[in-house]
Amino acid sequence: MGLTVLSDQARDRLAAAELTYQEVGATAGDLPAGYHRLRRSATIGHGDQVFSAASEAVRHWQVQRRAGLRVAASSSSVAANATLILGLGIGPLRLQAPCRVVYVVEEPRRSGFAYGTLAGHPESGEEAFIVEHHPTGAVSFRITAFSRPATRLARIAGPLGTIAQRQMTSRYLRTLAAT
């Protein structure tokens, strides 16, 4: 799946949109009550090269793209307040999920970001994608999220939405295994 740059009109509309939840940045700490909460991680390799390549992939939307999502973003790389629309599906059956980057992590041994949902996203919440280079040399990729249904379709989906989120998280984790 390719990366598309958002039109000026779409970028401006999303930049003005409010996040659909109050607990902005909570994926960096304690996850809030009242949401489905998810924490998953996988060791993706060892060494500086693996950390560097995985960090680069995360910074350029490769996790989402390699997982089969279409990405239309305001920037070709992750940046604070960048906006994006994730798309999953085919033609008119494509689900659109607008988001905004709420924080970026750029540390010597940790790299990644989190995005939060905007109006029109089927869920309300936040998801973080963090690569960490541990003192042992191991490199891990961690996904942390909290969400709850925001649209009628998501509410009707009920437990199927949770299953779909788990499957997408597994796809995300696999995207960096070959980095």
pLDDT exceeds 90 at position 1: no
Alpha carbons 97 and 86: distance in angstroms, whole number: 5
For position 108, what pLDDT does the model report?
A: 97
Residue of higher predicted confidence among 14 and 166:
14
Q: Are 169 and 40 in contact (CB under 8 A)?
A: yes
Report the first-to-last Cα separation within the chain, whole angstroms: 17
Overall number of domains in the chain: 1
- Cβ(16)–Cβ(98) under 8 Å? no
Residues 22-31 pLDDT 10s: 999 999 999 9
Identify the pLDDT of residue 92. Answer: 67
Other beta carbons less than 10 A from residue 142's beta carbon: 17
Asked if the structure places residue 157 within a domain, the reply is yes
Instruction: Tell me the pTM.
Output: 0.93
Q: For residue 63, tell me if it sits in a domain.
A: yes
pLDDT, one tens digit per residue, over 114-150 is: 999 999 899 999 999 999 999 999 999 999 999 999 8
Beta-carbon contacts of 24 under 8 Å, excluding residues fewer than 6 positions away, are 102, 116, 126
114 vs 94: which has the higher pLDDT: 114
Q: Is residue 116 part of a domain?
A: yes
pLDDT score for 51: 97
pLDDT of 46 above 60: yes
Domain-embedded: residue 102: yes
Q: Is 30 among the domain residues?
A: no
153/136 Cα distance (integer angstroms): 45
Range 66-89 average pLDDT: 93
What's the CATH number where 138 sits?
3.30.530.20
- The Cα 79–Cα 152 span in angstroms is 31
Q: Is the pLDDT of residue 160 over 80?
A: no
Is 29 domain-assigned? no
87 assigned to some structural domain: yes
Answer with the residue of higher pLDDT: 94 or 78: 78
Domain residues for 159? 3-24+35-175
pLDDT per residue as tens digits for the range 141-159 = 999 999 999 878 777 777 7
**Confidence at residue 2, expressed as pLDDT on a 0 to 100 scale:** 72
